[in-house]
Structure 1
Amino acid sequence: MQFHDVKFLLSVHSLKQLPDEDLPEIAFAGRSNVGKSSLMNKLIGRKGMVKVSGRPGKTQGLNYFLVDDKVHLVDLPGYGFAKVSKGMQDSWQGLITAYLENRTTLKCVVVILDIRHGPKNQDTQLLTWLRQQGIPYLPVYTKVDKLSGNERAKNARLLDAGHTISKEQRILFSAKSGLGRDELVQALDRFIEG
């Protein structure tokens, strides 16, 4: 992926709004306020393309971005704490689950985890479910710039152990410094070509 031409395509709130399955898709998932939008903006090289919010639950649909007329990036609503009604959270979950289970062009789910926090039950549930469904995924530990080298290594080991992830399976990432961006692009290219 080159990210020469990136544009917001649409926000999907029901399965019938999904675009035709003619391009490979990479979905981005993570708990609310885990740094998903910042990661996506750093990845595509655009500061405000994916809206960043301090308010959990800002993303309320499946937001589609078209990259170089070749790939769709799909920003999923954050799970976990969000200042929206339980009914809305439940409808997101139904939409997300149906999307992940049935989308034939889905090549990978990038699962974003904040390296500053130990293993969280919701992340474990998502990773376990993706494994059970046979859906390819890529764990990315964000906000690594907020920890010293020793803390970073220790926390990464805790997340690896807590989620049964090997060091080779995941990427350390900083939206601030760009650490891990090239590695992420290469990994996503492999999933798309795979």
Structure 2
Amino acid sequence: MKVNQAEIVISAVSQKQYPKEPIPEIALAGRSNVGKSSFINKLIQRKSLARTSSKPGKTQTINFYRINDKFHFVDVPGYGYAKVSKKEREKWGQMMEEYFSTREFLRATVLIVDMRHKPSEGDQMMYDYLKHFDLPVIVIATKADKISKGKRHKHLQTIIQTLQMEDEDTIIPFSAETAEGKEYAWRALYPYLD
């Protein structure tokens, strides 16, 4: 997809602030610092629409990005970062619960995992949580450029088995460095953008 227009609409902390326009939404989930912002920026060919940070736990709001006036990417807070207070984590949990359980425009979720490592307990919980809401999940296995071609199949199988991925869900090796997987990611998203 050629992206001609991309802008942040709002950083929301509650339902009252969500955008009102009835366009499809694709949520982006993943543990803190796994590369959600880099994924968005690579997909839309912008250097820094989504703010990247070397400090985990930076996304503390639900960020809505309008793309081509056609759909929203919705970046939700990352999980699994220990240096955030329990109270803060509970607040994020409530924010996400509210979004995932009430948002009628949500069509699918991109779950970003690090291809180099077995999915964490948080990744497994997130996948199960999304399936609880009957959401299609596109798993993006990022940092693919760090794994040799010969070992990739094994790494992907580990992710599929650990998450107990359902057959209808897709997994895509991806690299924000080389743009590998970018076209496949768009292709996986297309059915949900109408």
TM-score with structure 1 setting the length = 0.94
Instruction: Kindly state the Cα deviation for residue 21 of structure 1 after the two structures are TM-superposed.
Output: 4.6
Instruction: Kindly state the Cα deviation for residue 75 of structure 1 after the two structures are TM-superposed.
Output: 0.9
Matched with 1:108 is: 108
Matched with 1:157 is: 157
Matched with 1:132 is: 132
Matched with 1:23 is: 23
Indicate conservation of the 8 Å contact 2:137/2:169, yes or no. Answer: no
Are residues 52 and 85 of structure 1, via their aligned partners in 2, closer, same or farther at CA, if it must alter by over 3 Å? same
Matched with 1:176 is: 177
Amino acid at match of 2:39: L
CA distance in 2, matches of 1:27, 1:129: 13
2:68 is aligned with 1:68? yes
Q: Which runs of 4+ in 1 moved over 6 A?
A: none
SS of the equivalent of 2:193 reads: helix
Indicate conservation of the 8 Å contact 1:36/1:112, yes or no. Answer: yes
Deviations 1:107-136 (A, max 9, x none): 111000100111211111111122122122
Matched with 1:35 is: 35
CA distance in 1, matches of 2:181, 2:115: 13
Matched with 2:85 is: 85
CA distance in 2, matches of 1:131, 1:65: 24
CA distance in 2, matches of 1:129, 1:103: 15
Are residues 48 and 82 of structure 1, via their aligned partners in 2, closer, same or farther at CA, if it must alter by over 3 Å? farther
CA distance in 2, matches of 1:141, 1:120: 13
Q: Which runs of 5+ in 2 are unaligned?
A: none
Instruction: Kindly state the Cα deviation for residue 153 of structure 1 after the two structures are TM-superposed.
Output: 2.0
Matched with 2:193 is: 192
TM-score with structure 2 setting the length = 0.94
Matched with 2:57 is: 57
Are residues 162 and 68 of structure 1, via their aligned partners in 2, closer, same or farther at CA, if it must alter by over 3 Å? same
Instruction: Kindly state the Cα deviation for residue 56 of structure 1 after the two structures are TM-superposed.
Output: 0.6
% same residue: 39
CA RMSD of aligned residues (A): 1.5
Instruction: Kindly state the Cα deviation for residue 33 of structure 1 after the two structures are TM-superposed.
Output: 1.1
Aligned pairs for 1:135-146 within 5 A: 135-146=135-146
CA distance in 1, matches of 2:90, 2:121: 18
Deviations 1:62-109 (A, max 9, x none): 011111111111111111115322111110111111101110000111
Are residues 66 and 82 of structure 1, via their aligned partners in 2, closer, same or farther at CA, if it must alter by over 3 Å? farther
SS of the equivalent of 1:139 reads: strand
Indicate conservation of the 8 Å contact 1:32/1:82, yes or no. Answer: no
CA distance in 1, matches of 2:132, 2:168: 21
Indicate conservation of the 8 Å contact 2:174/2:182, yes or no. Answer: yes
Q: How many residues align?
A: 193
